[in-house]
Each structure stands twice: as C-alpha cells, then as structure tokens.
Chain A
Amino acid sequence: MLFALQVTVEGAPEWSPVLPGLVILLPLLGFVINGALALAHARRSADAVRGGGELDLPAGDMPLTHTLPTWIGPGVMGLAFLIAAVNFVGMAGVELHEPVIRTYWTWIVTGSLNVSAAIQLDQLSMVMMLVVTGVGFLIHVFSVGYMRDDPGYPRFFAYLNLFVFFMLVLVMGAGYLLMFVGWEGVGLCSYLLIGYWFSDREKADAGKKAFIVNRIGDLGFLVAMFVLFITFQTLDFGEIFSAAPDRIPYGSSMATIVTLLFLLGAVGKSAQIPLYIWLPDAMAGPTPVSALIHAATMVTAGVYMVARSSVLFALSPVGSATVAGIGVLTALFAASIALKQYDIKRVLAYSTISQLGYMFLGVGVGAYTAGVFHLMTHAFFKALLFLGAGAVIHSMHHALHHTHKDEDWDAQDMRNMGGLRRHMPITWVSMWIATLALSGIWPFAGFFSKDEIIWATGAWAGAANAPYPTLYTVYWVLALVTALLTAIYMTRLMVMTFHGANRTGEEEAKHLHETPRVMWIPLAVLAALSVFGGWINVPESISESFLGGFGLLPMGENLHQWLEPVMAGAHEIQAQHLGEISHQAPLLGGGELVWALVSTGVAAIVVLIAARIVGGQKHVAAVDAAEPRGLGRVLYRKYYVDEAYDAIIVRPVHALSRFSWRIVDSVIIDGTVNMVGNLARAFGWVGSLFHTGQINTYAFILTIGVLAILGWVAF
C-alpha cells in the first residue's frame, strides 16, 4: 500500500493529476440534478394523467424539466472530458512508470480485507477515460436531438449520466472490488436503459434478459475475486500484479482458474459466446443507448478487464488460448448472423459482438495494446454507425408516422428503406466512412487496429516456444475469414439503406429528412475520428512504407509506447516464456506490410463485389417479403440459438421452478406447515371430546385424575 502511494519516481518530473475525482463526480452530479428533474416531471405528468388528460409539452417554450437536462446532461460530460484531457496532457508530459493512486477514504476493513476508495490514473485508465467521456459527450449531444420529443427526457439523461459515472468507476478504480462496483453499476444502467420504454412488454423483457444473463458472468468475476483474495490477501491492482509472477507460477492451474473465472465475467459483460444473446435484444433501448452502452463503452469492459489483468492472463497459456478462441469463434459466428439480418440495429448489434470477438482475440494472443487499440477505434466508428442508424430510424419514424403507416411498417427494417442518401447526405457520408473503417480499409481507423490483431495472432502462432501453434494458426485463418464477412455485411447494410430505389412509399419519402444540426455534428466529429483515430498506433514497417506516406503522414506507434508501462509486466512474462515472436505470417509466409496490403486490397474488392451483388438484388418492403430459405433462413433465425437456449436452459429452469413451486413448496413445505397445524387441531379435537358440558363427566375425570396421581405417588 505504501509502495503504491509513492506517486512519483525519483528524478522524474513531478506530475500531480488535476481534480481526477471530479471526472467521476461530474456525471454523478448530472445524475442527481437530472434525476430530481425527472422526479418532478414524473409527478407533474402523473398529476396531469390523474386529472384525466396528458401532460402536453408546449411547442415553443420547453419547461424547465426539459431545458435543464439539455444543458446539464451533455454539459457535465463535456466538463469531465475537458478535465480528462487536461490530465492526459499532463500525463503525457512526464514519464510515468507507476500508476498514480488517489486514495479518498477507507471503504471496507474487515479481517485482513482492507479496501480503500481509491482511483488509479495510469496510461490505460487514461485512454478509457478519454474514450468514455469523449464519445459519451458526443452521444449525449446527439441524444438532445434524438430524444427531444420523448416524454421521459430528463429521466433518459439521468440514466445516461449515471451510466457514465459507473463506467468511470469501472475504469478508474484502483482495485478489483471498485471495478466490480462499476461493473455492476453499468449493468444496472444498461438494464434501466434497455427497458427505458418499459411500458412495452417486449422491451422490458429485453432489459431483464440482459440483466439475468450478465448475472451468470458476474458470478465468475466474484469467484475470481475470492480466489485472488485468498492468494494475495488484497484486491489492489498494484499489489496483485507486482506479486503475481512470484506467487503464481507460469502455466499453473491457479493462473488458469483465475483467468477462466475472469473470462466468464468478461464473456457476460462483453457479449461473447455463449452469453452473447442479450446484446441483440438490448437494441430495444433508444439508439443513443445502443451507441454508448452496447457498442462503445460498457460492452468493452470485458476487454478492458482482461487488458488490466494482462499479467494474470500472460501467466496462463490455457486461459489466454481460451480467451482468443472464444473471441475468434464469436467474431465469425456473429458476423455470419449479421449477413442475413434485416433490422438495421440488429446488424450493428451482431457486428458489435463480432468486433468484440476481435478484441478478445487480441487480448487473448497477448496483444493487449492491440485489443485496447481496437476497443478505441471501434468506439469511434461503431458509435458513429449506431448514431447514423439512429438518425435513419428517426427520419424513417417521422416519415412513416406522418401517414400512420408505422402500425405495420417497421422503421428499423432495411427492406423498408433504400435510396436514403438523397434525403440524408451527411448521415450517408459519415456512415460510409464508418463502414470502410469497420471493413478494415486503409487509411481508416479500423484497418490499423484490426490488422494488428490479426497480425499478432499470426505472430503468436509462429513464436519460438508458443503453446498450441496449430490452434493459433486456425484462429488466424478464422480471423481473416471474419474480416471478409465484416466487409460483406456492412456493405449490404449501406447499400440496402442508402442506395437503390426507395421502398418507403411515395408519400412517406417526402417526409424523410436530414437530421438537425445537434445530431449531425456528433456524427461528423466521430467520422473524423474514424478516419484519423487509427493513426496513433501504426507499426513502423507500415508507417515507413507508402501506406504511411513514407513516414510523412503523422503516424506512429504512439499507443504502444503509451501503454508500455501498464503492459510491461505481461510483456516481460511473454518474453520469458514465448521466445522470439515470428515476423512472418503462418502457413504462407509474408511480412506485416504484405499482409496489410493483402487485407486492405481484399476488403476493398469484397466491398465492391458486395455492393454490386446487393445493389443488383431486387428488394421488397418487409410486409411483402418472404422469409429466406435454406442457409439464409438459418442465419436469419440466428442459428436458432435463442430457441436452443429456450429448450435447453429456459424451459428446464421453468420446469424446475414449477416443480419447486408445485411440489417442493406447495406439497412438501406447505404440507409440513399445514400438517403441524392439523396435528394441533386433531389433538384439540380429541381433547374437546372430554368437554361434554356435563358436570358429572368433569367430576368423573377429575376423580380419575386424582386417583391416577395418587396411584403414581403411592407406587
């Protein structure tokens, strides 16, 4: 503890963080204010409903419960981002080898467990803070436009602020327990926001599904913490990671158990096989929520957790291989489902699952920086895609609502769209940028991050002493295939939505419109980030080549150097046990530059071909469309996984619950209780037989009793 408190290393320039606690507290403050406004608003609308009417929002002057959240919600996020950015600049100016710990108070002291409420500022939490507050701010701004007409406006911002607060606790906490607080908190907010329109049964159920599925993963996290506590007698990151290489031998079963348990937690939160099923349903929430929670930040918590615990995962080759395996399988599986979905948000949901799989692959093959890098770039372009989809849905909804066609026409179904580029050019352009970034096309952000993960997989497979080289070669091939699928489904989404003829209907199409400025400015900022965001982490072999403009473009391995102090422990273990990392791709050979060229070239060709094929197909509106046949139907039905889970897990649990209710509870437990009561009654009934009301009987019984007592005394 004392060791960790030593903030600066001798000789290094002093750096003291500027108000780091305020970064966390500002969103909490926003939550408190917006929450109070939401309560006031709810009371007024309840009064209005009780009075027999409905609370009408005036067209011109918005009430205070609407204008205040508009400024406070995004405002606290903007301030938090500014403080985070100031701290980032400060941190970048010094060479920081140890994390800066700010301890505020002692939280729990019981037995040998001693937990402080402390936040940790290091290079990794700084990256996460910037992503969470930065992307979060943009999405808050977007929400001002998107949720403008929603009756629960202040409540929405209250939840959103609360979410950011917990997310910051998650990434800034200086120990596993505080991380777990954030972990559970974001789960709660996710539940609240998925079921934001709770009066719709389906949406409320989706919230419950997310919450319950996450519970399974949280169990793993909890047990992992118990194991760590038994081993280290502490839950602080600093102490665990510095002691781990000595206390847990490389490849020991202890390392495997801890990492697999943490993986279970990460699998739940980050929607990986087998617990990914909640994420597609989570699209029931408002679209900014999908962008912020279910694409950019919360679902990446699992990746952050693995990267944070990189020392532990580096110690367990089995754990790492499992992480990578689950990641690459999920990536492929989800990408194939995305090929045949028609709901625009569902395509993006499966795409998110697939990309999270890539991040898991990255952190599973020991490329922790690459995983965090993809987390960051993905936050940019996936948030952009979701916000763009939100803009499309917003516009579609208005158009369909205008002629009351929205009763049987789905505003999110891509079969009902088509040709939207003429109506929403800004959204169209920015979404294409995000699509190219996601498809991994140079020079967009996704190209660099995804390529690095795939490359790291291949390099691991070829490392001198790598465990399971064949397995990792398979991972590498699957990752390449997934990259192709990514390009296909994203192109399909873009072409079906924005190109070709419009299928919304003539009268409706007149009311399709570009989004207001408050919504498209965040799109533009995210689009810029999707273009340039990848340049911060480009390997030298690429930045020095023509892909980097022969070193003229501002590219470099900045993120690698930036995160090196955090990942140093893991890298040391890897260097000890893996030996020389390969500089050739497995199977076919070829260096990093060659494969970068191949992957971007193939991705570009695939995008073009997919655009031709999807553009050439004849699309009909959803109400007229038949269900796809053959393999298409299997994909459309998501491999029947929900049905399988329903049959294998949900229904047996239902049956077990019914058994517990009908047999265990009603018969056995209630039966025992009732039997005790009935026995007392039966004895009472027998006793009452003596009470005839006849005084002679009483006298007789009394006499018998006296004789009996006398007899007992005498003999």
Chain B
Amino acid sequence: MITEALFVSALLFVIGTLGVIIRRNAIIMFLCIELQLNAVNLAFVAFSRSVGIEGQVFVFFVMTVAAAEAAVGLAIIISIFRHYESVNVDDFNLLKW
C-alpha cells in the first residue's frame, strides 16, 4: 500500500518540479510548487501509518506554511504584474550577480 502511495507522491513531485523548471508563467510555477508541497504531504501521510503520528502533524505544519507562502507569493506576483504588466518570469532577470 505504501509503495503505491509513495509512487503517486514521487510522480506528483516530479510533475511539480518539471513545471517549475519548464513553465514561464509565474502563476503556473507557483501552482507547481504547491504540487510539490502536496506530494511531500502525501509521503508524510503514507509514512505516518508505519512510523507514527508525527507525519500527520507535519502535514498540518506544511499546510499552514503553504497558506502563508501562497498569500505572500501571490502578493509578490500581483505587485510584479502591476509593474511589468506581465507574469512571464523571462521578463524578470534583474536578480543576478
């Protein structure tokens, strides 16, 4: 049972990672990060069955942090959009050396 759950978790994580790497739309990338977080959550829940309750506790932490992150991240994206009229990350390359 745990194998299948971990497999789904890994699949979700890879999809999320590829989405972050490949896609250029900041909103989509943001959603993909959420996908990664939830893949991890799934793994936590799956492991809690054999290891202990702590896995489920951590899922709540992750969800809380993800909610906060979503609030801040969306606020950033909105302010960037107001500035550039775009959410394409290729346009934002000032963050270097």
A residues with CB within 8 A of B: 688, 691-696, 699-700, 703
Contact B24 A696 (CB under 8 A): yes
Instruction: Please give the distance in Å from B94's CB to the nearest CB on chain A.
Output: 6
Residue B20 is within 8 A (CB to CB) of chain A in the complex? yes
Contact of B93 among A688, A693, A703 (CB under 8 A): A693
Residue B90 is within 8 A (CB to CB) of chain A in the complex? yes
| Residues on B with beta carbons closer than 8 Å to the beta carbon of A691 | 96-97
Contact of A699 among B21, B94, B95, B96 (CB under 8 A): B21
Please encode chain B, from 53 to 97, with 1 for each CB lying within 8 Å of some chain A CB and 0 for all others.
000000000000000000000000000000000000110111111
Main SS class of interface, A: helix
Give me 6 other A-B pairs in contact (C-beta within 8 A), A691-B96, A696-B29 excluded. A692-B93, A693-B92, A695-B95, A696-B21, A696-B22, A700-B21
The CA-CA distance from A694 to B29 in the complex, in Å, is 13
Among B21, B92, B93, B97, the one with the most A-chain Cβ atoms within 10 Å of its Cβ is: B21
In the complex, residue of chain B having the shortest beta-carbon distance to the beta carbon of A706: B17
The CA-CA distance from A692 to B96 in the complex, in Å, is 6
Count contacts on B: residues with CB < 8 A to the other chain: 15
26 example contacts (A-B, Cβ-Cβ < 8 A) are as follows: A688-B96, A691-B96, A691-B97, A692-B93, A692-B96, A693-B92, A693-B94, A693-B96, A694-B89, A694-B90, A694-B93, A695-B29, A695-B89, A695-B92, A695-B95, A696-B20, A696-B21, A696-B24, A696-B29, A696-B89, A699-B17, A699-B20, A699-B21, A700-B21, A703-B17, A703-B21
Instruction: Please give the distance in Å from A709's CB to the nearest CB on chain B.
Output: 15
| Residues on A with beta carbons closer than 8 Å to the beta carbon of B95 | 693, 695
Instruction: Please give the distance in Å from A713's CB to the nearest CB on chain B.
Output: 17
| Residues on A with beta carbons closer than 8 Å to the beta carbon of B97 | 688, 691
CB proximity to A under 8 Å, residues B13-31: 17, 20-24, 29
| Residues on B with beta carbons closer than 8 Å to the beta carbon of A694 | 89-90, 93
The CA-CA distance from A688 to B97 in the complex, in Å, is 7
| Residues on A with beta carbons closer than 8 Å to the beta carbon of B29 | 695-696
The CA-CA distance from A472 to B29 in the complex, in Å, is 106
| Residues on B with beta carbons closer than 8 Å to the beta carbon of A700 | 21
| Residues on B with beta carbons closer than 8 Å to the beta carbon of A692 | 93, 96
In the complex, residue of chain B having the shortest beta-carbon distance to the beta carbon of A693: B93
| Residues on B with beta carbons closer than 8 Å to the beta carbon of A693 | 92-96
The CA-CA distance from A700 to B89 in the complex, in Å, is 14
The CA-CA distance from A693 to B95 in the complex, in Å, is 5
In the complex, residue of chain A having the shortest beta-carbon distance to the beta carbon of B24: A696
| Residues on B with beta carbons closer than 8 Å to the beta carbon of A695 | 29, 89, 92, 95
The CA-CA distance from A695 to B94 in the complex, in Å, is 10
| Residues on A with beta carbons closer than 8 Å to the beta carbon of B24 | 696
| Residues on A with beta carbons closer than 8 Å to the beta carbon of B17 | 699, 703
Instruction: Please give the distance in Å from A249's CB to the nearest CB on chain B.
Output: 78
| Residues on A with beta carbons closer than 8 Å to the beta carbon of B23 | 696
| Residues on A with beta carbons closer than 8 Å to the beta carbon of B21 | 696, 699-700, 703
Instruction: Please give the distance in Å from A697's CB to the nearest CB on chain B.
Output: 9
In the complex, residue of chain B having the shortest beta-carbon distance to the beta carbon of A696: B21
Nearest 3 A/B pairs, CB to CB: A693-B93, A693-B96, A691-B96
The CA-CA distance from A694 to B92 in the complex, in Å, is 7
The CA-CA distance from A693 to B89 in the complex, in Å, is 10
Instruction: Please give the distance in Å from A138's CB to the nearest CB on chain B.
Output: 80
Instruction: Please give the distance in Å from B9's CB to the nearest CB on chain A.
Output: 15
| Residues on A with beta carbons closer than 8 Å to the beta carbon of B92 | 693, 695
Instruction: Please give the distance in Å from A157's CB to the nearest CB on chain B.
Output: 68
The CA-CA distance from A696 to B33 in the complex, in Å, is 12
Instruction: Please give the distance in Å from A376's CB to the nearest CB on chain B.
Output: 82
In the complex, residue of chain A having the shortest beta-carbon distance to the beta carbon of B23: A696
| Residues on B with beta carbons closer than 8 Å to the beta carbon of A688 | 96-97
| Residues on A with beta carbons closer than 8 Å to the beta carbon of B89 | 694-696
The CA-CA distance from A699 to B22 in the complex, in Å, is 10
The CA-CA distance from A673 to B20 in the complex, in Å, is 44
Instruction: Please give the distance in Å from B70's CB to the nearest CB on chain A.
Output: 17
Instruction: Please give the distance in Å from A677's CB to the nearest CB on chain B.
Output: 18
In the complex, residue of chain B having the shortest beta-carbon distance to the beta carbon of A684: B97
The CA-CA distance from A694 to B23 in the complex, in Å, is 12
